[in-house]
Amino acid sequence: MSILQAIRVFLFYLLLGTSSLLWCTLSFFIAPFLPFRQRYRFINVYWCRFAVMLAWVILGIRYKITGAEHVPDEPCVILANHQSTWETFFLSAYFSPLSQVLKRELLYVPFFGWAMAMLRPIAIDRDNPKEALRQVAKKGDELLKQRIWVLIFPEGTRVPFGQIGKFSRGGTALAVNAGLPVLPIAHNAGKFWPKAGWGKRAGVIEVVIGEPMHANGTGPRAIAELNDRAQAWNEATQRALGSLPAVAEDQPGQVA
């Protein structure tokens, strides 16, 4: 990373951190008196848009959306790959109101956590996987019935650019049990905003929104089949974006 880019990254984080502290503090005193949807826009949409804009202006990290016409009118479960913090900012502003799964400990962070707690997140204890799954199913179903988007990163954690993690079935189970589709999203944000380190690269993040996917029936088999289909679509889309190595074609005479 060049000295100029290092200065840009430092300036970006300085402004991002300062704005976060100021906005969360302001939200703590104003947001509780707003209806939920207005509260979400006040706390999350405006600041996340600012964060995405800040990355665009200072770091040169722009974005391009393909498939916006596939977004359904009815909120459902969003399944997206997870490579960086950027997509959390972007998706939180693009879909409103939206709830996502996060570590319960984050809610204890002064002002930031208190502001997040007002957005109806699905706060889980990662040290208790069974209870976490139950919480996602119960709280997620309640949120969907209230017409709130639910964002699930099925890989469970950020995965380095060039790799893809195994999709857990929690998101598809939530969608199937609610009688709703999943909305698959793939992107290559990690190419410009890596998982590890502070370094950032200028460029255009490509965000692809796929057509909503419906389950073929109900029950465990339908959940598993939908999950496999969502992962296959994400993997194929990431390969098309150049985020994953292309699948080698069979050589002449090679048995498939």
Q: Which of the residue ranges 52-61, 96-105, 108-117 has the most confident prediction, judged by mean pLDDT?
A: 52-61
Q: What is the mean pLDDT of the chain?
A: 91
- Of the chain, the percentage scoring pLDDT greater than 90 comes to 73
Residues whose CB is less than 8 angstroms from the CB of residue 94 and which lie 6 or more positions away in sequence, other chains included? none
Query: What is the bridge-based pairing of β-strands 182-187 and 203-209?
Result: antiparallel
Q: Which of the residue ranges 129-138, 222-231, 246-255 has the most confident prediction, judged by mean pLDDT?
A: 222-231
The CATH fold of domain 3-241:
Glycerol-3-phosphate (1)-acyltransferase (3.40.1130)
What pLDDT score was predicted for residue 124? Answer: 85
pLDDT tens, position by position, 52-70:
999 999 999 999 999 999 9
**Lowest mean pLDDT, pick from 79-83, 112-116, 202-206, 235-239:** 112-116
What pLDDT score was predicted for residue 223? Answer: 96
pLDDT at 17 exceeding the cut of 80: yes
Domain boundaries, the chain: 3-241
Q: Which residue has the higher pLDDT, 256 or 97?
A: 97
**Lowest mean pLDDT, pick from 54-58, 129-133, 146-150:** 129-133
User: The whole model's pTM is what?
Assistant: 0.91
